[in-house]
Structure 1
Amino acid sequence: MKRRTFLNGLAGFAAVPFLPAAHAATEGGTTTMIDKLELSDDEWKKRLTADQYRILRREGTEAPFTSPLNDEKRAGTYHCAGCDLPLFTSDMKFDSGTGWPSFYTHLPDAFGTKRDFKLLWPRTEYHCARCGGHHGHVFNDGPPPTGERWCNNGLALRFEPAAG
């Protein structure tokens, strides 16, 4: 295969639209649907800071070691900064040494994923199941029990400390 043909094929895969995960969540044996939040670009710009907009709506990345959430140690829940959907608990968090908040798993039905070829090799990018906001990438170099590292932009999260 010629190099140009191969690279053009990769570009085609990168153009595959985002396919969200199922939006049904099970609670106590009953199924609930996650309501989608769809806003115009102008509404997102009003709702988010400029940096949050760049990350959540334009798939940007914050600089490593800049998020205060990287060092957050309290018990609580991490929510999407775009729509407030709970995504992770503090029990799922670990120090990856990468400079971004990292988690070994996530709450059920919190994310949809897609393949990302922006750095030429394939990565798995993940987005909020409710608002479609970009959060980061998942890698297979995390701790047990999953072996996964859900590497999240801190600006895409809002931390809610546990009560009490």
Structure 2
Amino acid sequence: MKKLLLLAISVILFNCNGIAQDKTKENKVYKVSKTEQEWKNELTESEFKVLREAGTERPFSSKLNKEYRAGTYVCAACETPLFKSEHKFDSGTGWPSFDREIKGNVDFSVDYNLGHARTEEHCATCGGHLGHVFSDGPRDTTGKRHCINGVALNFIPEK
């Protein structure tokens, strides 16, 4: 009986700690910080829904999904460079996908919105929601698939 009680307490403590750690995005102060109204004034309705409310655009709806020119993908809210075109690949999912981010420019947290843990990605400068990262990307590179909402990005072609 003591072992069962100890196990139950351990599970509760570990779960509470994990959930508390997942709140880091909410408590972080970002370099670019604006009120909800300022974001609404600057972003389109769909950009606001994704970047500020963690929405998801419909698959295959972004023109960036089939963008193949050389260049850099930047945050649509603050223009922080997030992904490079040489790391983009066609995942077949309907969203722009990359096998790696530009180090230091993307933050990660965990969300349980679908009932299980997923690694969520945010712009490290403004906190805008970008998408999620999964471990089913190209095995010959990083094995990661950064599945990103195209509306959260702007594309800057290489000159």
Q: TM-score range by the shorter chain?
A: 0.7 to 0.9
**Partners of 1:77 and 1:90 within 8 A in 2:** yes
**Partners of 1:141 and 1:148 within 8 A in 2:** yes
Judging changes above 3 Å, is the alpha-carbon distance between structure 1 residues 14 and 53 closer, same or farther for their aligned structure 2 residues?
farther
Q: Select 1:149's aligned residue among 139, 145, 150.
A: 145
Equivalent residue number for residue 39 of structure 2: 44
Task: Note if 1:16 corresponds to 2:22.
Answer: yes
- Give the aligned length: 144
Greater C-alpha Rg: 2
- The aligned amino acid for 1:67 is S
Equivalent residue number for residue 75 of structure 2: 80
Q: Which whole-Å CA distance do the structure 2 matches of 1:162 and 1:58 have between them?
A: 31
Equivalent residue number for residue 27 of structure 1: none
Q: Which whole-Å CA distance do the structure 1 matches of 2:22 and 2:130 have between them?
A: 18
Aligned-partner SS, 2:24: coil
Report the alpha carbon displacement of residue 42 of structure 1 after superposing the two structures with TM: 0.6
**Partners of 1:18 and 1:114 within 8 A in 2:** yes
Q: Select 2:154's aligned residue among 134, 149, 158.
A: 158
Report the alpha carbon displacement of residue 14 of structure 1 after superposing the two structures with TM: 7.7
Q: Which whole-Å CA distance do the structure 1 matches of 2:88 and 2:20 have between them?
A: 29
More helix by share: 2
Aligned-partner SS, 2:47: helix
Report the alpha carbon displacement of residue 15 of structure 1 after superposing the two structures with TM: 8.2
Q: Which whole-Å CA distance do the structure 1 matches of 2:21 and 2:141 have between them?
A: 33
Equivalent residue number for residue 126 of structure 1: 121
Q: Which whole-Å CA distance do the structure 2 matches of 1:15 and 1:100 have between them?
A: 28
The alignment's C-alpha RMSD in Å is: 2.2
In structure 1, stretches of 5+ residues that fail to align are 21-34
Aligned-partner SS, 2:73: strand
1:106-121 aligned within 5 A: 106-121=101-116
Q: Deviation per CA, 1:40-85, whole angstroms, max 9, x where unpaired? A: 1110001100110010000000000000000001011000001000
Report the alpha carbon displacement of residue 13 of structure 1 after superposing the two structures with TM: 1.9
More strand by share: 1
**Partners of 2:22 and 2:111 within 8 A in 1:** no
- The aligned amino acid for 1:150 is H
Judging changes above 3 Å, is the alpha-carbon distance between structure 1 residues 72 and 14 closer, same or farther for their aligned structure 2 residues?
farther
In structure 2, stretches of 5+ residues that fail to align are 1-6
Taking structure 2 as the reference length, the TM-score comes to 0.84
Q: Which whole-Å CA distance do the structure 1 matches of 2:74 and 2:93 have between them?
A: 21
Taking structure 1 as the reference length, the TM-score comes to 0.81
1:25-40 aligned within 5 A: 36-40=31-35
